[in-house]
Amino acid sequence: MRTRRTSAHDAHGRGRLLTHGAFWRILRPIMSKKLDMEILASLCKRRGFIFQSSELYGGINGFWDYGPLGCELKRNIKNAWWKHIVRTREDVVGLDATIIMHPAIWKASGHADGFADPMVDCKDCRKRFRADQLCEEQGLELIKDGKTVALPDGAKCPACGSRNLTAPRSFNLMFKTFVGPIEDDSNAAWLRPETAQAIFAQFSNIIATARQKVPFGVAQMGKSFRNEINPRNYTFRSREFEQMELEFFIRPDEAVELICGRVTTLADKPDLTGEPQESWGWEVWLHYWIEQRLAWYRSIGLPAEHLELYWQTGDELAHYARACVDIEYAFPFGVQELEGIAARGDFDLTQHQRHSGKQMDVFDEALKQAADKLDAAAKEAFTEKVVAEWTARNQSPEAARAFVAKLFEGKYVPHVVEPSAGTDRLALALLSNAYDEETLTDDKGKTDQRTVMRFHPSIAPIKLGVFPLVKNKPELYAKAREIFAQLQRRWNCFWDESGAIGRRYRRMDEAGTPWCATVDFQTLEDGTVTLRDRDSMQQVRLSVPELIQKLDTEIG
Contact set with ligand ATP (CB under 6 A): 194, 226, 228, 237-238, 241, 243, 337-340, 420-422, 424-425
Q: Which lies closer to ligand ATP via its Cβ, residue 283 or residue 424?
A: 424
Please state the closest distance from residue 237 (CB atom) to ligand ATP, in A.
4
Dist CA 497 CA 471 (whole Å): 7
Q: Please give the single-letter amino acid code of residue 347.
A: F
Q: Which lies closer to ligand ATP via its Cβ, residue 25 or residue 226?
A: 226
Dist CA 525 CA 80 (whole Å): 38
Total Cβ atoms within 10 A of residue 202: 16
Dist CA 219 CA 440 (whole Å): 45
Please state the closest distance from residue 243 (CB atom) to ligand ATP, in A.
5
Q: Which lies closer to ligand ATP via its Cβ, residue 242 or residue 254?
A: 242
What are the E-state strand segments in 122-213? Answer: 128-130, 143-145, 148-150, 169-172, 176-178, 188-190
**Minimal CB distance to ligand ATP: which residue?**
422
Q: Which lies closer to ligand ATP via its Cβ, residue 23 or residue 296?
A: 296
Q: Which lies closer to ligand ATP via its Cβ, residue 141 or residue 526?
A: 141
Please state the closest distance from residue 284 (CB atom) to ligand ATP, in A.
22
Please state the closest distance from residue 242 (CB atom) to ligand ATP, in A.
8
Total Cβ atoms within 10 A of residue 533: 14
Dist CA 29 CA 238 (whole Å): 32
* E strand or H helix that includes residue 555: helix 544-555
Please state the closest distance from residue 245 (CB atom) to ligand ATP, in A.
7
Euclidean distance between the first and the last CA atom of the chain, given in angstroms as a whole number: 25
Q: Which lies closer to ligand ATP via its Cβ, residue 149 or residue 508?
A: 149
Please state the closest distance from residue 183 (CB atom) to ligand ATP, in A.
26
Q: What is the DSSP string of 112-137?
A: HHH-EEEEEEBTTT--EEEHHHHHHH
Please state the closest distance from residue 160 (CB atom) to ligand ATP, in A.
25
Pairing of strands 515-519, 528-533: antiparallel
Q: Which lies closer to ligand ATP via its Cβ, residue 227 or residue 279?
A: 227
Dist CA 15 CA 326 (whole Å): 46
